[in-house]
Amino acid sequence: MIDRQRPTRGTVIGFLVAGSVLVALACLLGWWVFARGDQPFAVDAWWNALVTTWWNPVMLGFARVMNWVGAGWFGVLAVPIGGAIGLIVLRRPWAAAYFLAAEAVSATGVQVLKHLFGRVRPEGILVVSDYGSYPSGHVANAATIAAAAVVIFPHVWVGVAGAVWVLLMAFSRTYLHAHWLSDTLGGALIGAGAALLVAAVFVVLMTRERTDAAAGGAWLG
């Protein structure tokens, strides 16, 4: 939790350490995936077979909506830009800059890992996707948004809502057979890790402006 008045050096270091650990875990999991070749983990195969038995048009429709929300022009452009504009309206320009930077770093990290490990996607994929199954870019984006939201608005309910969003996105990706279950874990790790690493750069400025915004009556300060 960020000190609302004055973040300490320990806060910055905490973000750096936590972010680094999460990114390192994403890389280690990716290396493990790569070392196994095209052979999925047992839990991957089990979950992939299980969600196949849950097919119904409502869940499929939900998963397709999540596919659109989490990527494409909406997920890549509308969400980051819209979020930044909203923060600027709340008189939080540094938070807006942080959010955009976190999204950019996360997206870059995802593409690096995708091309580094080049994992094959599950068979029977129901949507069009880009190269590389590991990690899930949709889940990484969801995790970045969730982690960044907690950094910007450090409230318990924000964290709970963010966690639910990430889990729903992860489920939708495996339901569409666009990713193995371990791909979604990797996406969550790299997404949240990127958000925390970038937070270390912006936390002092964001805390100062949050205090000013709260004094001026901005909501969710």
pLDDT digits (tens, 9 = 90+) for 88-124: 999 999 999 999 999 999 999 999 999 999 999 999 8
Contact 199, 15 (CB under 8 A): yes
Q: What is the pLDDT of residues 164-208, one digit of tens each?
A: 999 999 999 999 999 999 999 999 999 999 999 999 999 999 988
Contact 130, 121 (CB under 8 A): no
Report the pLDDT value the prediction gives residue 2, as an integer from 0 to 100.
44
CATH number of 9-212: 1.20.144
Query: 3-state secondary structure string, the chain?
Result: CCCCCCCCHHHHHHHHHHHHHHHHHHHHHHHHHHHCCCCCCHHHHHHHHHHHCCCCHHHHHHHHHHHHHCCHHHHHHHHHHHHHHHHHHCCCHHHHHHHHHHHHHHHHHHHHHHHHHCCCCCCCCCCCCCCCCCCCHHHHHHHHHHHHHHHHCCCHHHHHHHHHHHHHHHHHHHHCCCCCHHHHHHHHHHHHHHHHHHHHHHHHHHHHHHHHHHHCCCCCC
Q: Give yes or no for residue 218 having a pLDDT over 80.
A: no
What ranges do the domains of the chain cover? 9-212
- CA 137 from chain center: how many Å? 8
Model's pTM, two decimal places? 0.91
Report the pLDDT value the prediction gives residue 130, as an integer from 0 to 100.
82
pLDDT range class, residue 210, cuts 50, 70, 90: confident
Report the pLDDT value the prediction gives residue 1, as an integer from 0 to 100.
42
- Average pLDDT over all residues of the chain: 91
Q: Smallest Cα–Cα separation from 124: which of 178, 191, 43? A: 178
Report the pLDDT value the prediction gives residue 212, as an integer from 0 to 100.
67
Contact 94, 215 (CB under 8 A): no
Q: Smallest Cα–Cα separation from 127: which of 168, 81, 69, 185? A: 69
